[in-house]
């Protein structure tokens, strides 16, 4: 157990995934690529439908709680399907047959490890320097290269880099030397292209908001879908301006399909693990709504 309670570090996530596969053989597991420190970035598939959608979490290291959120949903969904039950009042078999859900629970494994387990390499001079000289890495958002992975995508990347005004590696807000400079960003970009998703949702913390637009590239149905998500969850659908280069932004711009960032929970990151039950109660409703669309 780490100092934050029961948040899943990388090893804990991998163990949970293997146990899920053992209990529910119909799950598919794999990897979308490897991180800077050569960790696999796991992906799970549940469902066999021709409609493919994608959820991801932990783009930002200090938002590690989103990994637990997604693993918990997969567990609930798989158990319901195995026993012929429903999830949030929706028949699990119907969702399984209609939609293939691909989940990447931890986009940024190296960063999460830095935040949760305080590995030995936290003493590396550059990490300490990028963290303002502090050995407290609890607020670290970036990957282990000091790059914000959600500022890495070719959707007005230069504009976002100028807006951030962070010119060098840091604990947060450094966009990198170029779009897709980081292996984690390249991995999820290639995975997204390969799978041709009808919809993607990136789960972040915090604010209980749903961002659904990007520079008018989004399809007409995106706002209505966001409002449905808001209605079932109690979150607020927000038309966002002044933000670029995120995964959701790139997906909308590139594919002209519905893409969303869902900011779960309330407070200051990292949110305490004690919020997970409340977060799950709301965010899981969004997940089910996305599956049954």
Which of 192, 276, 259 is CA-nearest to residue 223? 259
Q: How far is CA 86 from CA 30, 81, 143, 256, in A?
A: 26, 7, 37, 32
With cut-offs at 50, 70 and 90, classify the pLDDT of residue 120: low
26-34 contact pairs (CB < 8 A, 24+): 26/78, 26/81, 26/82, 27/74, 27/78, 32/104, 32/187, 32/188, 32/190, 32/191, 33/183, 33/184, 33/186, 33/187, 33/188, 33/190, 33/191, 34/183, 34/187
- For residue 249, give the H/E element and its range: helix 247-255
Q: What is the pLDDT of residues 146-187, one digit of tens each?
A: 999 999 999 999 999 999 999 999 999 999 999 999 999 999
**Catalytic residue positions?**
263
CATH 3.40.630.10 fits 10-292, yes or no: yes
Q: What is the pLDDT of residues 191-215, one digit of tens each?
A: 999 999 999 999 999 999 999 999 9
Instruction: Indicate whether this model's pTM tops 0.85.
Output: yes
- Is a pLDDT exceeding 70 seen at residue 123? no
Torsion over CA of 164, 165, 166 and 167, rounded to 10 degrees? 130
Which of 166, 151, 248 is CA-nearest to residue 203? 248
With cut-offs at 50, 70 and 90, classify the pLDDT of residue 125: confident
| Residue ranges covered by each domain of the chain | 10-292
């Amino acid at each position: 157990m780490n100092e934050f309670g029961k948040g899943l570090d990388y090893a804990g996530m991998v163990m949970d995934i293997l146990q899920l596969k053992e209990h529910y053989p119909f799950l598919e597991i794999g990897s979308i690529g490897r991180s800077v420190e050569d960790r696999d970035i796991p992906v799970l598939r549940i469902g066999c439908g021709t409609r493919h959608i994608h959820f991801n979490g932990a783009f930002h290291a200090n938002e590690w709680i989103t990994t637990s959120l997604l693993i918990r949903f997969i567990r609930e969904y798989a158990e319901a399907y195995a026993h012929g039950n429903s999830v949030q009042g929706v028949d699990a078999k119907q969702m399984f047959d209609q939609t293939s859900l691909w989940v990447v629970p931890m986009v940024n494994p190296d960063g999460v490890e830095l935040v949760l387990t305080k590995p030995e390499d936290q003493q590396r001079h550059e990490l300490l320097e990028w963290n303002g000289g502090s050995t407290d890495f609890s607020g670290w958002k970036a990957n282990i290269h000091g790059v914000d992975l959600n500022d890495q995508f070719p959707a007005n990347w230069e504009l976002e880099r100028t807006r951030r005004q962070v010119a060098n590696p840091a604990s947060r807000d450094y966009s990198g030397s170029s779009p897709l400079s980081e292996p984690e960003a390249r991995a999820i970009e290639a995975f997204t292209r390969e799978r041709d998703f009808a919809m993607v949702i990136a789960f972040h913390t915090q604010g209980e908001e749903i961002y659904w637009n990007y520079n008018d590239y989004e399809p007409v149905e995106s706002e209505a879908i966001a409002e449905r998500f808001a209605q079932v969850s109690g979150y607020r659908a927000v038309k966002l301006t002044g933000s670029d280069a995120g995964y959701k932004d790139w997906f909308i711009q590139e594919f002209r399909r519905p893409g969303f960032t869902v900011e779960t929970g309330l407070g200051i990151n990292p949110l305490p693990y004690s919020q997970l039950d409340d977060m799950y109660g709301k965010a899981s409703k969004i997940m089910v709504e996305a599956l049954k669309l």
